[in-house]
Chain A
Amino acid sequence: MNLTPEQQAVGRRNFLKALAGTPALAGLGVAAAARGPLRGGPVRIGFVGVGGQGGVLLEQLEPAYGEVRAVCDVNPAQLAKAAATLAKTGRPPARQYAEWRDLLQKEDVEAVIVAAPLWMHAEIVTGCLDAGRHVLCEKMMAWDVAGAEQMRDAAARNRRILEIGYQRFYNPMYQAAYDGIVQRGVLGEVYHARLAWHRNGNWRRSGTPPSPDYDPSRWGYPTFEHLLNWRLYWRYSKGLFAELGSHQISVANWFFGAAPEAVAASGGVQRFRDGREVYDHVYAMVDYPQGRTAVFSSIESNEFDGYYEMFMGTKGTLILKGEAEAYLFHEGKAGGPTTVEVSMKGPGPVLEASESRRADAAGAAGGRASVSERVDRLSPYRLEMAAFCSAVRVGTPIACGPERALASTRACVRANEAVAQKTRLAL
């Protein structure tokens, strides 16, 4: 989905105009909704899995909300990285574990952040909940529906909080779009949504084992390559539908206010026939009640389209692109040329004055590099972690929760089955 600069300008302006006078607008410029120490002190937290995603959450956890007591990873190299992150952000070191059960036994943590490979979610999360810990688990919720239901039941049984890491639910832009546009009926009747996540590159990662004698087989990975590339093998992963699609299907569920009824899908290993099992191209048609359909595609051979969610209604089109840009287009109406950008405040000057320049490079400033960013993509993670800690400490509500996460898990698991069976499957 590529818009001309003029279209972008119109779309941004329409988006903000539609929010004018609604409380939704006030949230747009506010990344961290509130700050300050949590009454009762920060939540004592353990991390299980501190690879890519776990590393981001570790970095974005503000010390006022959560105190990192321990980190756990089967890969010592990731533990070293986590230690460096804590040091870099001025936080005290955390004790390190390879086995999550040891962490639970030895550490007086109240909550656990689980960002282990997908196949381990159900076991670890259920274990944590049964041990009386609150859990924030990365998406997708679980490798299969039974595992996800087991997690949900464990949370209910133990009366513990279980949040699933769909950060779009904590993104002020999505909040504003839902409250100010979707809920208010600005789009009219919406029968179709397009969900796209297109990339051009190999999902396979390369790396060396943390030590020559490192043996990942005790963790269930025959070789280090399997641990490194767990996303590419069915035993550990549910592929693109789980890692990318579940984010976007969660948004479709949220905005449609419904769970999917059926899914038809296609896909395969089309480009990277390197021994991987999970598909590198997937396409799904996801049907919702009342004749609504979302079409999702994720490909690894072209990135022109980028990634976005687009809701097409009888009165307008809403596009949420790259988790950072929002556009609204009214059906059959032209708009004006004002652009609106939201950017993080930085320490530098807000403006660089100079004589007028030919190409008008001047006047754009606001801290040079920092201003060119739009909505900070990391701030939703920060909010997510803060809100989770707040939920643990003072019982404020969480944004996603097990039921919502289960709905998208069901659809994504089923989508893979639909590809394999070359058919449309009911949910």
Chain B
Amino acid sequence: MMPSRRALLSMDFGTPVPVADHWIRLQRTAMACRFTILLSGEDAHQVPAAQDELDEVERVEAALTVFREASDLVRLNRRAAAAPVAASPELFALLALCRELHAETEGAFDITSTPLSRCWGFLAREGRLPATEEIEAARALVGMDAVTLDASRRTVRFQRPGVELNLGSIGKGYALRRIGARLQGRGLGHALLSAAGSSVLAIGGRDGGWLIDVRSPQRPDRCLARLRLRNGALGTSGAGEQFVEVGGTRYGHVIDPRTGWPAQGVLSASVVHRDAALADALATAFCVGGPELARRYCATHPQTLALLTPSEGPVRTEVIGAYPGATLLEAAAA
């Protein structure tokens, strides 16, 4: 007689303790990276819901990417210099958030920096050292001051031609925020969402939280930090794999929009925040602005935790601020 699964599960083993010693990992490629939803075995009944919500990533991508001809953002970039362009409520709200973040990070987070990335060759993934004039020409196109958001009409207008918006440093976190909210709305209590490993969102978290290591591809031998995370997001940014080396100096692909030159001094910047979109954006901002900016920001924004590892000298991770759902188990010390 073949026992049914129910019979197997109800076998008398004395004190039955339901054990789920497996992970279930759902993955989908979108936004040029891998989106993952990790569920514990006991939450297997949530697999269909998780699969449905991965569809949401594609919807977000269709709206926000600059790499698809038909995206809302591409349309906006093409026309907003000529006349105000109406944006969907979702896109408009996100752009408003980006403007706010630009101000709060003293210009370190800037969604208009695309001309600089192009000038340094990072858009084509072929980094090069541009001439000073090229950098200055690109800088002239950059700046949130050239972007006018009209909340009453929900329109976007560029004040000069050549302005380009790129949501690459907030889009993945934003997508996770969306999926996370929808999954929680469907009663999901525990899941770990991630995109490319650089954007992470923890829903719930058993046994003190999801155990996460922060690492850098530059220093694969070291764990920069180990933390347990409950109900919070982790964004990570770094100068990492894409760089250009000129005269012995290594220039990473994250460009400081304020100087026009690649950001220097930070190997890896991670931010833990309630909001996955903010965690993502702030990680980029702190990668650009360094520990000074992180300290100033965290001092005025409670419930923000920043982990910064400098690129020079021994690997040592500086811990700035705090987040109630994050327990730091380990931070690299020199």
A397 lies within 8 A of B47 (CB)? no
Instruction: Give every chain B residue within 8 A of A394 (Cβ-Cβ).
Output: 11-12
Tell me if B153 is interfacial: C-beta within 8 Å of chain A. no
Tell me if A340 is interfacial: C-beta within 8 Å of chain B. yes
Instruction: Give every chain B residue within 8 A of A21 (Cβ-Cβ).
Output: 48
A350 lies within 8 A of B212 (CB)? yes
Instruction: Give every chain B residue within 8 A of A293 (Cβ-Cβ).
Output: none
Bound-state Cα–Cα, A361 to B192, Å: 17
Tell me if B213 is interfacial: C-beta within 8 Å of chain A. yes
A339 lies within 8 A of B216 (CB)? no
Q: Mark A44-86, 1 if CB is under 8 A from B, else 0.
A: 0000000000000000000000000000000000000000000
Instruction: Give every chain A residue within 8 A of B303 (Cβ-Cβ).
Output: none
Which residues, 189 to 236 on B, are CB-close (under 8 Å) to A? 192, 194-200, 210-217, 226, 234, 236
A363 lies within 8 A of B19 (CB)? no
Tell me if B247 is interfacial: C-beta within 8 Å of chain A. no
Q: Mark B29-56, 1 if CB is under 8 A from A, else 0.
A: 1000110101111111101100100110
B24 lies within 8 A of A342 (CB)? yes
Instruction: Give every chain A residue within 8 A of B16 (Cβ-Cβ).
Output: 34, 36
Tell me if B268 is interfacial: C-beta within 8 Å of chain A. yes
A30 lies within 8 A of B215 (CB)? no
Instruction: Give every chain A residue within 8 A of B15 (Cβ-Cβ).
Output: 36-37
B41 lies within 8 A of A30 (CB)? yes
Task: Tell me how far the C-beta of A324 lies from the nearest C-beta in chain B, rounded to whole angstroms.
Answer: 12
B216 lies within 8 A of A354 (CB)? yes
Tell me if A305 is interfacial: C-beta within 8 Å of chain B. no
Tell me if B7 is interfacial: C-beta within 8 Å of chain A. yes
B47 lies within 8 A of A39 (CB)? no
A355 lies within 8 A of B234 (CB)? no
B23 lies within 8 A of A350 (CB)? yes
Query: CB < 8 Å: which of B2, B44, B212 contacts A169?
Result: B2
Task: Tell me how far the C-beta of B289 lies from the nearest C-beta in chain A, rounded to whole angstroms.
Answer: 16
Instruction: Give every chain A residue within 8 A of B325 (Cβ-Cβ).
Output: none
Binds B, one of A114-122, A364-372, A405-413: A364-372
Instruction: Give every chain A residue within 8 A of B194 (Cβ-Cβ).
Output: 351, 353, 363
Query: CB < 8 Å: which of B5, B17, B42 contacts A23?
Result: B5
Task: Tell me how far the C-beta of B233 lies from the nearest C-beta in chain A, rounded to whole angstroms.
Answer: 11
Bound-state Cα–Cα, A336 to B29, Å: 11
B226 lies within 8 A of A30 (CB)? no
Query: CB < 8 Å: which of B5, B24, B34, B45 contacts A179?
Result: B5
Find the residue from B5, B14, B214, B236 having the highest chain A CB count within 10 A. Answer: B5
Task: Summarize B's interface: helix, strand, loop or mixed.
Answer: mixed
Task: Tell me how far the C-beta of B26 lies from the nearest C-beta in chain A, rounded to whole angstroms.
Answer: 5
A32-B19 in contact given A39-B14, A338-B27 (Cβ < 8 Å): yes
A345-B9 in contact given A36-B15, A351-B197, A353-B234 (Cβ < 8 Å): no
A37 lies within 8 A of B14 (CB)? yes
Tell me if B21 is interfacial: C-beta within 8 Å of chain A. yes
A344 lies within 8 A of B48 (CB)? no
Bound-state Cα–Cα, A179 to B5, Å: 8
Tell me if B246 is interfacial: C-beta within 8 Å of chain A. no
Instruction: Give every chain A residue within 8 A of B238 (Cβ-Cβ).
Output: 354-355
Instruction: Give every chain A residue within 8 A of B240 (Cβ-Cβ).
Output: 354-355, 357
Query: CB < 8 Å: which of B28, B45, B211 contacts A338?
Result: B28
Interface bin, chain B: 35 or more
B236 lies within 8 A of A25 (CB)? no
Query: CB < 8 Å: which of A27, A353, A399 contacts B200?
Result: A353
Query: CB < 8 Å: which of A339, A356, A399 contacts B3?
Result: A399
B22 lies within 8 A of A343 (CB)? yes
Task: Tell me how far the C-beta of A117 lies from the nearest C-beta in chain B, rounded to whole angstroms.
Answer: 28
Bound-state Cα–Cα, A285 to B177, Å: 55
Tell me if B241 is interfacial: C-beta within 8 Å of chain A. yes
B237 lies within 8 A of A355 (CB)? yes
A399-B19 in contact given A351-B200, A354-B268, A363-B194 (Cβ < 8 Å): no
A360-B17 in contact given A29-B44, A340-B25 (Cβ < 8 Å): no
Bound-state Cα–Cα, A344 to B26, Å: 15
Which residues, 259 to 282 on B, are CB-close (under 8 Å) to A? 268, 270
Tell me if B1 is interfacial: C-beta within 8 Å of chain A. yes
B211 lies within 8 A of A350 (CB)? yes
A340 lies within 8 A of B47 (CB)? yes
Tell me if A238 is interfacial: C-beta within 8 Å of chain B. no
A16-B51 in contact given A35-B13, A39-B14, A355-B240 (Cβ < 8 Å): yes
B28 lies within 8 A of A337 (CB)? yes
Bound-state Cα–Cα, A38 to B12, Å: 8
A34 lies within 8 A of B23 (CB)? no
Which residues, 157 to 210 on B, are CB-close (under 8 Å) to A? 172, 192, 194-200, 210
A353 lies within 8 A of B26 (CB)? no
B17 lies within 8 A of A34 (CB)? yes
A387 lies within 8 A of B20 (CB)? no
Instruction: Give every chain A residue within 8 A of B237 (Cβ-Cβ).
Output: 355
Query: CB < 8 Å: which of A34, A39, A354, A383 contacts B236?
Result: A354
Bound-state Cα–Cα, A377 to B26, Å: 20
Query: Which 9 A-B residue pairs are closest in the complex by CB-CB distance?
Result: A362-B197, A29-B41, A363-B197, A355-B238, A356-B198, A20-B48, A356-B196, A349-B213, A29-B22
24 contacts across the A-B interface (CB closer than 8 A): A17-B48, A24-B5, A29-B39, A29-B43, A30-B41, A33-B11, A34-B9, A179-B4, A337-B29, A338-B51, A341-B27, A342-B41, A350-B23, A351-B192, A354-B268, A355-B198, A355-B236, A356-B199, A357-B196, A364-B197, A365-B213, A366-B25, A383-B8, A399-B3
Given contacts A24-B5, A355-B240, 5 further A-B contacts (CB under 8 A): A25-B44, A29-B43, A350-B211, A356-B172, A365-B197
List chain B positions with a Cβ less than 8 A from chain A: 1-9, 11-29, 33-34, 36, 38-45, 47-48, 51, 54-55, 125, 172, 192, 194-200, 210-217, 226, 234, 236-242, 268, 270
